[in-house]
Chains A and B, each alone.
Chain A
Amino acid sequence: MSASRFVITVIGMDRVGIVAGVTRVMAEHSVNIADIRQTTMSDLFTMIMLAEVEAEEFDLAAFQAAMSAIGKDLGVEINVQHEDAFRFMHRI
C-alpha cells in the first residue's frame, strides 16, 4: 500500500455508544485517529475521521468488514475510504 491515511465517515441516528463502539474497533486494528469532527444535525449523527495506519501489516478488507459489522450493530452507516478519493476528486 502506497499511502496509509483513510477517511472514515459515520452517519446515522444518534444514540449512546456510537463513538465508543467505532473507536474500539479502530483500536483493535491499530488504526489511529489523526483528526476527528463530529456534529449532530437535529438528531442525525455525523462523524468524519482522518485515520492513520501503519502501512505494512494493515489488512484493509478485514478492517472494513469489522467496521461494517459494528455499524450494523449501532444502526449507522460507516464508510472507510482512502483519503485520495477525496483529494483527487475536488482539487486540481
Chain B
Amino acid sequence: MLIHPEEILETINMVSHQHLDIRTVTMGISLRGCSHPDIKVFNKNVYNRILSCAEKLVQTTEEIESLYGIPVINKRISVTPIAIAAESCETDDYSSVAETLDRVAQEIGVDFIGGFSALVQKGMTHGDLNLINSIPKALASTEKVCASVNVATTKAGINMDAVAMMGRTIKQAAELTGDRKGIGCAKLVIFANAPEDNPFMAGAFHGVGEPDCVINVGVSGPGVVNAAVRALDNPTFGDIAECIKKTAFKITRMGEMVGKEVARRLNAQFGVLDLSLAPTPAVGDSVAAILEAMGLESCGTHGTTAALALLNDAVKKGGAMASSSVGGLSGAFIPVSEDQGMIRAVQRGSLSLDKLEAMTCVCSVGLDMIAVPGDTSAATLSAIIADEMAIGMINKKTTAVRIIPAPGTEEGDMVEFGGLLGSAPVMPVHNFSSEDFIARGGRIPAPIQSLTN
C-alpha cells in the first residue's frame, strides 16, 4: 500500500501546527493484592507493586513518541481506589498512603497518580470515610496524587450525605493549599457515574472490574478539529459534523496505534482509548474556539449548548468507527482554566456558571476547573455538586465537578495554577443560601430509568 504524500504532510501539519498529541498514557494497576492490617506493610506492598509494573512506563512511552513522531504529553498511573485497597488497615488516617503514591510516582517519573478514591454512591464503609477525611491533608502534602469520589450513579441515586461532606472537603483542601491558590482542589473530582477506565486526571482510578495491569490512552485534538472546521467554506451543520467525524477518526487511529504498542512492550493489556477533545492552555488548542468557529460570537452565548452537542456527538461517532476499544469519557471536555477560549468567554461576560452547567448536559465530564470566590460556603459548593450529579444521574452519563474556591480571591480575579492546569478567572456564584437543602442529608433516590434489569 502506498502512503500518499498528502497524508504524510497532513499528519506532520497536525502535530507541528495544530497541537495533535496523545494527551495521556495511563497505566492502571490493581492494588487488590496489597491489603494488610498494618499500614506500614500496606504502604510497602503498594510501593513495590507499582514499581514492579510501571518502572519502565516513562522510558517505553518516550521510545514510542520518537518512533512515531507523536508527542505524548503526560504519563500517568491509576490504581485501585485506595478506600477499597486500604480498608483492612487498622488506622483512621490514609494520608501516608498518598505520600507513598507520591514517592513512587516521583521515582518512576510520571506526571500524576490517580486513585486516592472512594465509591460511595449508595453509602460509606469505614474505609470510604477514612479516605474522604484524609483527602485535604493528602492533597496538601503531595504533588502528584489525585483524588476522586463517586457520590452518585443512575442506579443508586445521589448520596447527599457524601455531597455535603465533599463541599466541606473542598473547602478544607482549598484552605490547606491556600498559599498556592487552593491547588489541592484542582486535584480532586466529585463524580456521578464514574467510568472505571478513565485515563484523565484528576478522576482516573483503576476500576475493580479491570485486569491486573492495563494501558489506557487518552487522545486529544481540539486544535486539529478547530483547524479542520475553520477550513470549511460556508459549511452547513451536516458538513461540520462530517468534518469533525473524519478528523476524530484520524486522531483515534493514532491513539490506538500508540496505546497498543506501549501495552505490547510493557506486557500489559491494552484497555481503552479515550477520545476526548481536551484543551490545553496553548493558543489554538481550545474547545471554545471550535464552538465559535461554528458561528457563535463568543462561547456561552445562546446556541452554545447546541454547538457543543453537535461537536460531542460527532467526536464519538468518528472514534467509534476508528477503534473497537473506545471507552473512558470520550467527548468534549470544557475545563475553564485550561482553555484560552473559555477564559476569554468568562472575562467577556458571555459564559456563566449556569450556562456551563447547561453545557454539561451534552458533553463529557462537567463543571471542570472552575474557580469561584474564596468565601463560597461549603453548602453552596455541595449544592453545585448536587446539581451536576443530578444531571449525570438522570441522563445516565458521567458528570463531575472540579471546583476551586481559591482562598482570598473575589469575582474577577485571575488564579494561576501553571502547567496544563492553566489559569482561571474567578466566577460568581448565586448568593442565595442552599444551607438547609444540603443539611437535610440522606439519599436522593435513583430515578425510574434505573429499573432496567
Contact = CB atoms under 8 A, between A and B. Distances in A.
Interface in A66-88: 77, 79-88
B256 A7 contact: no
Interface string A38-63: 00000000101010000000001100
Given A7-B3, A60-B67, A80-B69, A88 B8 contact: no
Contact of A37 (B5, B10, B250, B256): B5
Nearest to B5: A48
B67 A82 contact: yes
A90 B7 contact: yes
Interface in A1-15: 7, 9, 11
B69 A89 contact: no
A9 to B, nearest CB: 6
Most buried by B among A11, A77, A81, A89: A89
Contacts of B8: 7, 9, 48, 86
Contact of B250 (A60, A64, A77, A90): A90
B180 interface: no
Contacts of A60: 66-67
B3 A84 contact: no
B86 to A, nearest CB: 40
Contacts of A84: 68, 257
A92 B11 CA distance: 16
A84 B261 CA distance: 11
Q: How many residues of B sit at the interface, in one of the four size bands? A: 20 to 34
Nearest to A65: B66
Contacts of B66: 60-61, 64
B67 A89 contact: no
Given A80-B69, A81-B67, A84-B68, A89 B11 contact: yes
B249 to A, nearest CB: 9
A25 B342 CA distance: 46
A91 B70 CA distance: 17
B16 to A, nearest CB: 8
Contacts of B12: 9, 11, 79
Contact of B9 (A9, A50, A61, A82): A9
B250 A79 contact: no
A85 B7 contact: no
B3 A88 contact: no
A86 B67 contact: no
A85 B257 CA distance: 8
A46 B10 CA distance: 13
A83 B3 contact: yes
Given A79-B12, A81-B69, A89 B254 contact: yes
Most buried by A among B7, B8, B12: B8
B1 A91 contact: yes
Contacts of B5: 37, 48
Contact of A88 (B10, B67, B253): B253
Nearest to B68: A85
Contacts of A91: 1
Interface in B47-81: 66-70
Contacts of B10: 90
B7 A79 contact: no
Contact of A89 (B9, B16, B253): B253
Given A7-B3, A84-B257, A85-B68, 6 more contacts: A46-B9, A50-B3, A77-B16, A79-B12, A89-B250, A89-B257
8 contacts: A7-B8, A83-B3, A86-B3, A86-B7, A89-B7, A90-B4, A90-B10, A91-B1
